[in-house]
Amino acid sequence: MRLDGVLFFPVTPFGEGGAVNCGVLAEHVAMGVVAGSGGVFAACGTGEFNALSLDEYTDVVDTAVSVVGGRVPVISGAGGSLPFARSCARAASESGADGLLLLPPYLVTAPPSGLVDYVRQIAEVSDLPIIVYQRGTARFTPDAAVALTKLPTVVGFKDGLGDIDLLQRIILRVRQETDREFTFFNGLPTAELTVPAYRGLGVPLYSSAAFAFAPEVALAFYKAITSGDELLTQQLLTEFYLPLVELRDRVPGYAVALVKAGVKLRGLDAGNVRPPLVDPTPEHVAALARLLDAGLAISS
């Protein structure tokens, strides 16, 4: 499984009664693939994985796989308690997903050896390639990262901590200890803001939550950063991504809630976020709309 380009993290739409709206999800995923995403990450953080039952999770992954039809890889989330994560891994395999993004276990703080064992026990129930997400309580040492490379189905490492020193040491140790293909990528919220720094570490791949509601802006940024257009890169960072991050940081959970609000601004009724997340205030939605207009104007 090879990933390239802008990685798309769709939201999970909910209908009026609160159920997953698979029809709107199908339209959302289809639009993202047509726009030019390099991969679809369904039922992950932006897709409110934490708020889904196993049946809902399966519906989301089934829908994404069906709509994508093999045009790009479909990666589905897994995580939480060990039994639930293993159930997600099995369900994703049965749905035809191409890989798993393994999110952190909830609440507990564990030593690196325990985190490696957590990954190992999930890998035992599925042959799907696994990308391990370092974020929150899941913090790996260089030795633990090397141990992950010994698990044959673990193919990548997504960093959501932003600890550049730690990530550099992890990359150097992994490259030193193994010669097999192993992918690193930037998984910070609103990752574009830190793409230049991660590219300096030799990590060009990144996730893009903004692609879910502003694919034109996300693709313009990707083209600018990969072609060396420093002027456009800086303009998009300064006039779109930086104020978006500042708006995101006003309320915990806005990294997801603002994306869903953005999808709604673009014409898809994705519904509300589920508790404990909260929907953006009208004032913040209006600010997001102004940012969206500015980003689209720069990207046109």
Question: What is the pLDDT of the chain when averaged over all its residues?
Answer: 97
For residue 183, say whether it is annotated as part of any ligand binding site.
no
**Among positive and negative, which fits the CA dihedral 131, 49, 246, 226?**
positive
Residue 264 lies in a domain: no
Q: Which of 57, 106, 150, 158 is catalytic?
A: 158
Torsion angle of the four alpha carbons 108, 115, 55, 252, in this order, in degrees rounded to the nearest 10: 50
Q: Is 222 a catalytic residue?
A: no
What percent of the chain has pLDDT above 70?
A: 100
Q: Has residue 251 been placed in a domain?
A: no
231 DSSP β-pair partners: none
Q: Which two tokens stand for residue 182?
A: 């192993």
* 18-51 tens-digit pLDDT: 999 999 999 999 999 999 999 999 999 999 999 9
Catalytic residue among 133, 198, 206, 241: 133
Give domain status of residue 61, yes or no.
yes
Kindly state whether residue 238 falls inside one of the protein's structural domains. no
CATH, residue 185: 3.20.20.70
Q: Examine residue 183 and state whether it is found in any structural domain, yes or no.
A: yes
What are 173-196's pLDDT values in tens digits? Answer: 999 999 999 999 999 999 999 999
Burial class (CB in 10 A: 0-12, 13-18, 19+), 265: middle
Instruction: Quick: pLDDT tens for 251-276.
Output: 999 999 999 999 999 999 999 999 99
264 is catalytic: no
Q: Is 171 among the domain residues?
A: yes
Q: Is residue 267 part of a domain?
A: no
Range of the domain at 186: 7-225
The answer, yes or no, to whether residue 161 has pLDDT greater than 90, is yes
Residue 107 has a pLDDT of 75
Split into its structural domains, the chain has a count of 1
Residue 257 belongs to some domain of the structure: no
